[in-house]
């Protein structure tokens, strides 16, 4: 049967009845909602076997319309895939031809801002940079700066458990989120209280932080803001080994310092990003200190002393300005694919005693991949007990038909080497499709069983973003 002549799926009429023209089935809209920013989806597009268009894209304008959309899809047993800015890089959005996409972009804007309480409530589809702009006008900041800030939504930050570049002082999204509104798979609405802290049973917000569209649709978020700091001042140092740089970070965090930005690049990344400003073979550390002038001055000095005691050499602070200008500029995956090169990033985390072995193990294992061009890393989010590593790899297999296989091999080696060294396999990009079959290695079989139980009780028909997050094996 010719699909284009097929009668439209009955769910479409029901959705149109509920939300009118906010059901889109034009080719251009459907095309833009076939997948997120996962490189493997780009590869499939490039190779001329693109992911199919979804059945429809619904863009509800109210929470009530979100509820209705969920109820109608459930009634028709049609899968529904929530989508925000589509900037995810793990394949969390790949609806396929039989599913409806629920775009949150119709839910946009600031609902309430309270300067005294330092709170801002946004509708979930508000873009990150727009949300930040709206609070900056009042002298406030969300303090959450994912690289995707201009491509992602505030609801997406919550649904994916995002971290931003200023997380070492300001925390990840779970530390910024004060309250949320979420529509559950049965269409009912959960709103948590805007209160600074509660011991009233398990924290229900946490079920949706990182649920990646599988347990509900986040429709509103309230963030706990900060005033824009009086002073923001950067410094840079470089180290003769990556391990020395990590040791300096460990010591400065242990001493109680929390510069919002603490980024250590290995020698290859240092050269790639900072060129001549970083002597060859040296590993560059950037810090940005924020607060009142005297506190910033004191912290900058104290951190510099800790770093030079750990054999760091002071570099031109202008590299920090360079980073600030360039930090969100990322070449397209497509431009690499056109050169026969597959690239990706993989962020993991480990305690201090393990992170050096994770770095060594992963870079060594990746270097054995056929066609590997580079395997590098930086650390960009630090904690009292450890830090993350953000690996980047590029590979050009001799046979271009092997791009996908090479990609899988790079991922497999990175995950295996991370686990072998005792690290955790997902710091802030999430699970999606790229990590789902490794999930049991991270949270254990009993963790996966528990997640499956949560999924079953909330979404018994497996209609909300099916195929995402949970392992495909043993279903």
Rule CB under 8 A: which of 187-216 touch a copy of itself? 188-204, 206-212, 215
**Whose Cβ is closer to a copy of itself: residue 134's or residue 295's?**
295
Angle at 463 between CA 459 and CA 7, to 5 degrees: 150
Q: Does 252 bind a copy of itself (CB under 8 A)?
A: no
**Whose Cβ is closer to a copy of itself: residue 271's or residue 435's?**
435
Distance CA 454, CA 464 (A): 13
Residue 62: how many other CB atoms lie within 10 Å: 13
Query: Can you read off the two tokens belonging to residue 220?
Result: 């509103």
Q: How far is the CB of 314 from a copy of itself (least distance, A)?
A: 20
Distance CA 468, CA 95 (A): 10
Q: How far is the CB of 352 from a copy of itself (least distance, A)?
A: 5
Residue 405, helix vs strand vs coil: helix
Angle at 103 between CA 97 and CA 108, to 5 degrees: 175
Distance CA 452, CA 366 (A): 32
Length of the chain: 475
Binders of a copy of itself in range 303-362 (CB under 8 A): 349-353
Q: Does 126 bind a copy of itself (CB under 8 A)?
A: no
Distance CA 348, CA 365 (A): 15
Q: Does 255 bind a copy of itself (CB under 8 A)?
A: yes
Binders of a copy of itself in range 217-236 (CB under 8 A): 224-227, 229
Distance CA 156, CA 111 (A): 17
Q: Does 8 bind a copy of itself (CB under 8 A)?
A: no
Q: Is 474 exposed, middle or buried (0-12, 13-18, 19+ CB in 10 A)?
A: exposed
**Of 241, 86, 246, 252, residue with least CA distance to 159:** 86
Q: How far is the CB of 253 from a copy of itself (least distance, A)?
A: 9
Q: How far is the CB of 362 from a copy of itself (least distance, A)?
A: 15
By CB under 8 A, name the one of 110, 302, 324, 404 that touches a copy of itself.
302
Quick one: angle between helices 63-75 and 10-19, nearest 10?
160
Q: Does 161 bind a copy of itself (CB under 8 A)?
A: yes
What Å distances lie between residue 257 and 169, 230, 252, 361, 391, CA to CA?
9, 18, 6, 29, 25
**Whose Cβ is closer to a copy of itself: residue 31's or residue 114's?**
114
Q: Does 178 bind a copy of itself (CB under 8 A)?
A: yes
Q: Does 139 bind a copy of itself (CB under 8 A)?
A: no
Per-residue string for binding with a copy of itself, 439-468, x by CB under 8 A? x--xxx-xx-xxx-xx-xxx----------
Residue 378 backbone phi and psi in degrees, to 5: -135, 160
Question: Across the strands, what pairs with 113?
Answer: 120
**Whose Cβ is closer to a copy of itself: residue 303's or residue 403's?**
303
Q: Does 392 bind a copy of itself (CB under 8 A)?
A: no
**Whose Cβ is closer to a copy of itself: residue 124's or residue 448's?**
448
Q: How far is the CB of 453 from a copy of itself (least distance, A)?
A: 5
Binders of a copy of itself in range 402-431 (CB under 8 A): 423-431
**Whose Cβ is closer to a copy of itself: residue 290's or residue 409's?**
290
Q: How far is the CB of 350 from a copy of itself (least distance, A)?
A: 6
């Amino acid at each position: 049967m010719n699909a284009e002549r097929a009668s439209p799926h009955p769910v479409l009429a029901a959705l149109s009845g509920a939300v009118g023209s906010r059901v889109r089935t034009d080719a251009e809209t459907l095309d833009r909602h076939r997948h997120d920013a996962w490189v493997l989806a780009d590869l499939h597009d490039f190779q001329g076997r693109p992911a199919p268009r979804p059945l429809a894209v619904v863009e509800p304008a109210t929470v009530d319309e979100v509820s209705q959309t969920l109820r109608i899809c459930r009634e028709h047993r049609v899968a529904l895939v929530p989508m925000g800015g589509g900037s995810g890089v793990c394949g969390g959005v790949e609806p396929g031809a039989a599913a409806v996409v629920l775009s949150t972009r119709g839910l946009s804007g600031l609902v309430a801002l309270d300067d005294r309480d330092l709170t801002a409530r946004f509708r979930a589809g508000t873009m990150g940079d727009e949300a930040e702009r709206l609070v900056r006008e009042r002298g406030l900041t969300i303090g959450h700066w994912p690289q995707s800030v201009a491509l992602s939504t505030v609801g997406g930050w919550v649904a994916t458990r995002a971290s931003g570049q200023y997380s070492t002082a300001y925390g990840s999204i779970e530390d910024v989120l004060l309250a949320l509104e979420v529509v559950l798979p049965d269409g009912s609405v959960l709103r948590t209280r805007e209160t600074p802290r509660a011991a009233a049973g398990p924290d229900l917000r946490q079920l949706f932080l990182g649920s990646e569209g599988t347990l509900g649709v986040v429709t509103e978020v309230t963030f706990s803001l900060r005033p824009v700091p009086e002073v923001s001042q950067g410094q840079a140092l470089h180290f003769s080994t990556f391990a020395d740089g990590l040791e300096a970070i460990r010591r400065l965090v242990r001493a109680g310092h929390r510069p919002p930005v603490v980024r250590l690049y290995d020698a290859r990344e240092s050269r790639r990003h900072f060129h001549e400003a970083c002597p060859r073979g040296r590993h560059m550390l950037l810090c940005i200190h924020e607060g009142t002038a005297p506190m910033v001055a004191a912290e900058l000095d104290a951190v510099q002393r800790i770093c030079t005691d750990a054999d760091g050499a002071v570099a031109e602070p202008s590299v920090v300005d360079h980073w600030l200008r360039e930090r969100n500029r990322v070449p397209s995956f497509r431009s690499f694919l056109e050169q026969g090169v597959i690239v990706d990033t993989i962020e993991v985390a480990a305690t201090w005693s393990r992170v050096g072995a994770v770095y060594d193990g992963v870079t060594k294992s990746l270097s054995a991949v056929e066609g590997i061009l580079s395997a590098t890393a930086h650390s960009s989010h630090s904690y009292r007990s450890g830090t993350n590593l953000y690996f980047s790899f590029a590979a050009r297999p001799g046979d271009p038909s092997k791009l996908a296989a090479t990609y899988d091999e790079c991922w497999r080696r990175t995950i295996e080497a991370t686990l072998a060294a005792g690290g955790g396999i997902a710091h802030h990009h999430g699970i999606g499709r790229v990590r789902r079959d490794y999930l049991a290695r991270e949270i254990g079989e009993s963790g996966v069983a528990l997640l499956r139980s949560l999924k079953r009780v909330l979404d018994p028909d497996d209609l909300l973003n099916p195929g995402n997050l949970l392992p495909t094996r043993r279903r």
